[in-house]
Structure 1
Amino acid sequence: MPARTLSRRTALVIGFLSLTVVATTMALLTTAPSQSPGRTTATPDAPVVDLVDADATAATRALFHRLERQQGRGVLFGHQHDLTHGFTFTEVTGTNSDTLAAVGDYPAVFGWDTLILDGQERPGSPENSPQQNVEALTWAIEQADARGGLNTLSAHLPNIVTGGDFYDTSGDVVRRILPGGDRHAEYTAILDRVADAVGGATRADGTAIPVVFRPFHENNGGWFWWGAGHTSAGEFVEIFRFTVEYLRDVRDVHNLLYAYSPNTVGGDREAYLATYPGDEFVDVLGYDAYDDGAASGEWRRTVVQDLAMVAELADERGKIPALTEFGPAVDDLADPAWFTRLLSAIDSDPLARRTTYMLTWANFGGAGRVYVPHPAVDSRAAHPLLADFRAFHDDPRSVFAAELTGAADARTRAAPHEPVVHLVTPTDRARVSTAETTVRVSAREASAVVYRVDDGPPQPLSRAENGLWTGTWEIEDELRADRLVTLTITAEVGGSELTDTAHVLVADAEPPAPGTVDDFESYAGDDGMLAEAFGHQGDPNTLALSTDRRSGGEFGLAYTYRFDALSFTGVSRRLDADWRGFSELCMWLAGDGSQNTGTVQLIAGGVAFEQEFSLADTTGSDVVLPFAGFSPAPGESEHADAALDADRLGTVTAMTIFVFRGGDQQPANGTIHLDDVRAR
């Protein structure tokens, strides 16, 4: 689902990024014997599969094994909401499908979303009771399974703190839904509904239908409340881990595989793994990418580069590689062979061709974007890409539902369970400014757990509920001076010691001066702490503290960018500011001498405003941007006449500093230096 447009730059990013969370079901076209949970049905010589859930059902193990064997043998085509939204039908019967209307077959992968549970997407309804919407999602999974394909479930979760939707990035949501957070119970209530819906989806013989669940997708972008700039990497890792442990260990749901899926990363392994929850919590390595139509050839090159990287990581870690979302981010693509060119590009790379499935977004009908080309219907002409989509279907390198016969009930064995312990709170690179905080450790099988600060003495923790161990860390006054400390936990498990660590910034609670965005002095000189404070958009960029280029103090910011598929990049800082008493934004800047364009974007009163600045001056001086000079971003069509006035300045929620490529003659990379960013 395309994201909300805020500017020409964010529109490009967000268009590439679709909102989904995936759950996958392997359907059998022949009658399968009943599959019981655990390892009881496997024979001694059956292949071993290593899953997040060692007690996964036999059908779930068979699905993983089927996807393992799919690598390099063609890619399964998937479509979000294929049976419930479309241009060629209005009635939801469980058999109507735009894909079927286009090519005479169903997709091999069916995608659904937790928005069904909220009644916001069919077959859910806002008029349903919560239980009826749970049953609607269960029905959807069962119908897709009966059509002969896999099922996927994505999670566009509401903002639990504010009551807004997934685009509402305010409220520090992830921190507050972690164990110990004031909104934790609301989050577990959502997971209970997911567990009920997925756990209740069965075949006629009672077999639970396996599902690939993909929570918190595209988190390396800043458009969702779980995304970069709105939560730290440590918090993201822990909410992902909690989600798995709650569904698996507390709710005893054993028909799930778990997927992790950032957005475009330009082939950067380090960027892809920056928020990776760990091999013990992920079965499927996914990746999302949408084509904005500006340069489809360059976009395909980037997709192949990223998919090759994902496939290589999957091979190293024993995971399943997948293109978990793809599609056009514009209504009209100039390339009449868009689908077949993409398929050929993927197949041409020896690593990328190991991608197991590729899922495109929903055909919501009406004036919505078309992701699966449709034939002529009523007054609507056939989609221009229909002929190419049919060629895509006929290509032996693509797989649709009718080709998924046999082997789904393969007998497998589960790899032995290995105990896992991890520090839940404080998370890595957390900032603690109170006199005490609670240490929480997930160590379900431990007999004893202790923590220590730096090289201090061990402090015992006590067993709590749901596999947690807890205790109070009383922070000495001498530590509370912007100091980075190492918190280490050690758990005794079956005669062995398992450990985990986090770097925690212990700081005083003195607030910054009014109007301050960042002076880059409060990160204890640690680039990891700096990175946690900013979200990233567009092409790759990195941030580092600079000691030689700055306006004052000890540190400034070195902002290094690289233009890739999008020719723009941005770093975002979340704010909660009232700037009604200020008239301008000021920042010290040393440009890189290029004719690339800098732009500051402010989100004020819910509207995006922008103003450009030059990167030509390399000497370093204050750049002053009067608020009166900001105008609505190009994508703000509903607010084209809005002004950045006092009313809107009363609620400033984010600032992004973009760099936009000035033309092919300009360098494709560079570094600018910033310091003392503030309203005045």
Structure 2
Amino acid sequence: MPFSAFRAPRRAVITLGAAAVAAASMPLAAGAATTARTRVKIVDDCATRETRALFQYMRDQQGRGILFGHEHTLTDGFTFTEFTETTSDVEAVTGDYPAVFGWDTLILDGFQKPGVYGGTVEENIEALTWALEKSDALGGINVLSAHMYNFVTGGNFWDTAGRVVGQILPGGPKHADFNGFLDRIAAAVKGAKRSDGSLVPVVFRPFHENTGGWFWWGAGHCTSAEFIEIFRYTVEYLRDTKKVHNLLYSYSPNSGFGGDPTNYMKTYPGDEFVDILGYDAYDNSAGSAEWLSGTMKDLAMVVGLADERGKVPAFTEFGESGDEGRNLNWFSDLLGALKADPAASRVSHMLTWANFGGNNRAYVPFPGHAMEPDFVAYYEDPYSLFASDLDGVLDASTAAVPSAPFLHLVTPTDRQRITTAETTIRMRLTGATSRKATYSINGGAPVTLTRDSAGFYSGTWAIDPSWLDNRTVTVAVSAKAGTKTYTDSALVFLGEVEPLPAGWIDDFEGYAGDDLTLSEAYSHVNANTTTLSAEHRTSGAYGLAYSYDFAGAGYTGIGKSVGADWTAFSALKLWLKGDGSTNGATIQVVAKGAYFEYNTGLSNTAGAEVAAPFSEFKPAPWDTGHAGELLDAAHLAEVSAFNLYLGYGGTTATGTVYVDDIRAE
């Protein structure tokens, strides 16, 4: 008999401290007898009744249990080889389905089931539509992520070459290709219908884990402004151009932030474009106290931000990485940590990744797996919710709060570098129309913008060629609608930057003296701040001031994409001025998929060059899959990233170190 047969009676009494009080003050839960319509403020004020109800259900559910989700649960697994439409590793262990069914747009390319490799566009659109309909019919909630292939190179989502985001924004050479991709999403989502003919509501989670550097839309491969604008464009195109009204939109950066919202919010597209505030985190520490503590701090931060904005907080992707089975109580430990935290316990759902079978790792234990008993215990805990626990998900009576007019400058984006004598200024105004839209440069005379066929207010900016000298200018746009005037602006750089020599990672001279532009060039892990230092450097006008704070986590890091062949070099060199602490620095080179490290101290306060021979780099202790490998010519031919981590030495929790002239020689 399925375990779920014993679960329902326990659901009615689940509360967690303050969460119970908060829940009591919320509008009546979905399915309650009431004639009042709850007003919901969501991205799409024309959303279907079911989509609005799903948003309200997820809001009301907070503090009453966490919905468990699994990616591709019906199409991939270890307990089946034939696609039967209902087989699932989760169901094989628990007798129940996940509450949240995760799918990916790779189905549209035929790269994931039920898509068909080599199938027609229409066949794969129908495949995604089927997946959404089937999950809904089984009582689940749909979440759609997007692992998009590189629109510039044709490589996969891990191919970070080509500054892709700038190429797919309006006016970019690959913009039409991106629109074609969105067209397929629109067709699949609009085609997904329930038995009563209503559209299946779907949570769309594009551009996830953008604060890391492993995807082409991630940190170091686009600026924050570019990310914000492509996210906004995606929403506006689907909602306004394609008239897709059964989507909720999720923003989901990846760990870790040390509980500090600064970097989390740096790429936030705005309340007008996000319904769900998410957070992705994977654990390679076997559920260590440090990882659990850091994850709870970050989730509590996300819940707080969601509460402030009237959004839904979610643990949008999680899982154990590294060797399987090191902690046989991993699921119970994680759920226990969530339940013990009054804020983190209020995430609406938590979704883990797919069981792709074969030699791949199992993110969900299957029958006979060493962690099966613990996953059953996780399932039986009344605070974990599966499909059989869901009731009245789409029953809430709601009305959408009308969206206020919103204006934003689409191109050029903030901190964009323009190297030509002519560029197009594009502005979008939603929720209103304007008879007078203009742009100005450095506060000069306004120039008229006209509405074009794509719905932008646009115009050509002719740039004096003498201005292409690495100067900084401000582009401002303005539109009057009714009695109100709406404005936006961006700082842009004019002219080329001299390229760095082969092997160089950074000399900190190419940022026009702008701290934000510097920060945008790196990915950031946990709490740190990077600024340019004119005082502490070894050459040129600037060095890097790298400030750390270990209050939220015992380490912090910055990273930059490389994508180079270093076989001509024998060492990694940089100038480093420490702060006299017992803390340490780890220089990390990612090459051919392996993570190699070299450690040095921070005690030298005078500043000196650190030379790290490649022969002395060792695989990171946690990178067990590459244990014993050498940073040899084969690896140096494929260097993908440089990272600089700082680790807590036990005495000094905050400080600043200085770095300059990072290069391979």
Closer, same or farther in 2 for the Cα pair 1:640/1:391, shift >3 Å? closer
Q: Which residue of 2 is the match for residue 426 of structure 1?
A: 412
Q: In structure 2, give the amino acid aligned to 1:559.
A: Y
Counterpart CA distance in 2 for 1:423 and 1:592 is 42
Deviation, structure 1 residue 126: 1.0
Secondary structure of 2:207's counterpart equals coil
Q: Does the CA-based 8 Å contact 1:545-1:555 persist in structure 2?
A: yes
Q: Determine which of 568, 572, 589 is the counterpart of 2:559.
A: 572
Counterpart CA distance in 2 for 1:363 and 1:208 is 28
How many residue pairs were aligned? 630
| TM-score after normalising by structure 2 | 0.88
Q: Which residue of 1 is the match for residue 426 of structure 2?
A: 440
Q: Which residue of 2 is the match for residue 387 of structure 1?
A: 373
Closer, same or farther in 2 for the Cα pair 1:75/1:608, shift >3 Å? closer
Closer, same or farther in 2 for the Cα pair 1:361/1:633, shift >3 Å? same
Q: In structure 1, give the amino acid aligned to 2:661.
A: D
Q: Does the CA-based 8 Å contact 2:213-2:560 persist in structure 1?
A: no
Are positions 1:230 and 2:224 aligned together?
A: no
Are positions 1:493 and 2:507 aligned together?
A: no
Q: Determine which of 473, 478, 485 is the counterpart of 2:461.
A: 473
Deviation, structure 1 residue 671: 2.6
Are positions 1:504 and 2:492 aligned together?
A: yes
Counterpart CA distance in 2 for 1:295 and 1:354 is 20
Deviation string, structure 1 residues 470-523 (Cα, Å, up to 9, x no partner): 222223356444333222110122342111111222344544455543222332
Q: Determine which of 671, 674, 679 is the counterpart of 2:656.
A: 671
Deviation string, structure 1 residues 343-364 (Cα, Å, up to 9, x no partner): 2322222222221111111111
Q: Which residue of 2 is the match for residue 10 of structure 1?
A: none
Q: CA RMSD in A?
A: 2.8
Q: Which residue of 2 is the match for residue 166 of structure 1?
A: 157
Unaligned runs of 5+ in 1: 1-29, 33-42, 376-381
Deviation string, structure 1 residues 398-425 (Cα, Å, up to 9, x no partner): 2111121225232211111212111111
Deviation, structure 1 residue 122: 1.2
Are positions 1:253 and 2:244 aligned together?
A: yes
Q: In structure 2, give the amino acid aligned to 1:123.
A: P
Q: Which residue of 2 is the match for residue 552 of structure 1?
A: 539
Deviation string, structure 1 residues 152-172 (Cα, Å, up to 9, x no partner): 111111111111111111111
Q: Determine which of 317, 328, 345 is the counterpart of 1:336.
A: 328
Q: In structure 1, give the amino acid aligned to 2:180.
A: A
Closer, same or farther in 2 for the Cα pair 1:419/1:113, shift >3 Å? same
Q: In structure 1, give the amino acid aligned to 2:421.
A: A
Deviation, structure 1 residue 548: 2.2
Counterpart CA distance in 2 for 1:384 and 1:579 is 42
Q: In structure 1, give the amino acid aligned to 2:509.
A: E
Q: In structure 2, give the amino acid aligned to 1:399.
A: L
Q: Does the CA-based 8 Å contact 2:208-2:253 persist in structure 1?
A: yes
Q: Which residue of 2 is the match for residue 196 of structure 1?
A: 187
Deviates more, 1:130-139 or 1:627-636: 627-636
Deviation, structure 1 residue 676: 2.5
Deviation, structure 1 residue 183: 1.0
- Written as runs of structure 1 = structure 2, the 5 A alignment for 1:627-642 is 635=623
Q: Which residue of 2 is the match for residue 184 of structure 1?
A: 175
Deviates more, 1:670-679 or 1:60-69: 670-679
Deviation, structure 1 residue 435: 2.5
Are positions 1:561 and 2:559 aligned together?
A: no
Deviates more, 1:62-71 or 1:539-548: 539-548
Q: Determine which of 50, 53, 73 is the counterpart of 2:44.
A: 53
Q: Which residue of 1 is the match for residue 25 of structure 2?
A: none
Deviation string, structure 1 residues 102-121 (Cα, Å, up to 9, x no partner): 11211111001111112121
Q: Does the CA-based 8 Å contact 2:287-2:327 persist in structure 1?
A: no
- Written as runs of structure 1 = structure 2, the 5 A alignment for 1:585-624 is 585-594=572-581, 596-602=583-589, 611-624=598-611
Deviation, structure 1 residue 563: 4.6
Q: In structure 1, give the amino acid aligned to 2:403.
A: H
Are positions 1:217 and 2:208 aligned together?
A: yes
Q: Does the CA-based 8 Å contact 2:110-2:119 persist in structure 1?
A: yes
Secondary structure of 1:462's counterpart equals strand
- Written as runs of structure 1 = structure 2, the 5 A alignment for 1:272-351 is 272-351=264-343
Q: In structure 1, give the amino acid aligned to 2:265.
A: L
Q: Does the CA-based 8 Å contact 1:331-1:370 persist in structure 2?
A: no
Are positions 1:517 and 2:505 aligned together?
A: yes
Closer, same or farther in 2 for the Cα pair 1:346/1:637, shift >3 Å? closer
Q: Which residue of 1 is the match for residue 166 of structure 2?
A: 175
Secondary structure of 2:47's counterpart equals coil
Deviation, structure 1 residue 578: 6.7
- Written as runs of structure 1 = structure 2, the 5 A alignment for 1:91-102 is 91-102=82-93
Unaligned runs of 5+ in 2: 1-29
Q: Does the CA-based 8 Å contact 2:497-2:510 persist in structure 1?
A: no
Deviation string, structure 1 residues 341-386 (Cα, Å, up to 9, x no partner): 32232222222222111111111122222222222xxxxxx22322
Deviation, structure 1 residue 596: 4.5
Closer, same or farther in 2 for the Cα pair 1:521/1:321, shift >3 Å? same
- Aligned-residue sequence identity (percent) comes to 52
Deviation string, structure 1 residues 164-197 (Cα, Å, up to 9, x no partner): 1111111111111111111111111111111111
Q: In structure 2, give the amino acid aligned to 1:87.
A: F
Q: Which residue of 2 is the match for residue 363 of structure 1?
A: 355
Deviation, structure 1 residue 250: 1.1
Counterpart CA distance in 2 for 1:569 and 1:292 is 16
Counterpart CA distance in 2 for 1:564 and 1:476 is 49
Counterpart CA distance in 2 for 1:412 and 1:360 is 30
Counterpart CA distance in 2 for 1:128 and 1:202 is 22
Closer, same or farther in 2 for the Cα pair 1:348/1:655, shift >3 Å? closer
Deviates more, 1:514-523 or 1:560-569: 560-569
Q: Determine which of 644, 652, 655 is the counterpart of 1:657.
A: 644
| TM-score after normalising by structure 1 | 0.86
Deviates more, 1:602-611 or 1:391-400: 602-611
Deviation string, structure 1 residues 594-623 (Cα, Å, up to 9, x no partner): 454434444567876654444332211223
Q: In structure 1, give the amino acid aligned to 2:396.
A: A
Secondary structure of 1:262's counterpart equals coil
Q: Does the CA-based 8 Å contact 1:631-1:644 persist in structure 2?
A: no
Counterpart CA distance in 2 for 1:488 and 1:194 is 33
Q: Does the CA-based 8 Å contact 2:294-2:553 persist in structure 1?
A: no
Deviation, structure 1 residue 631: 6.9
Deviation string, structure 1 residues 309-333 (Cα, Å, up to 9, x no partner): 1111111111111111112113434
Secondary structure of 1:287's counterpart equals strand
Deviation string, structure 1 residues 422-481 (Cα, Å, up to 9, x no partner): 111111121223323221112253333211122211122222222212222223356444
Deviation, structure 1 residue 48: 0.8
Secondary structure of 2:406's counterpart equals coil
Secondary structure of 2:238's counterpart equals helix
Q: In structure 1, give the amino acid aligned to 2:448.
A: P
Q: Does the CA-based 8 Å contact 2:614-2:631 persist in structure 1?
A: no
Q: Which residue of 2 is the match for residue 541 of structure 1?
A: 528
Deviation string, structure 1 residues 61-84 (Cα, Å, up to 9, x no partner): 111111111111111111111111
Counterpart CA distance in 2 for 1:208 and 1:44 is 23
Counterpart CA distance in 2 for 1:321 and 1:354 is 8
Counterpart CA distance in 2 for 1:431 and 1:636 is 41
Counterpart CA distance in 1 for 2:459 and 2:541 is 36
Q: Does the CA-based 8 Å contact 1:551-1:675 persist in structure 2?
A: yes
Q: Which residue of 2 is the match for residue 526 of structure 1?
A: 514
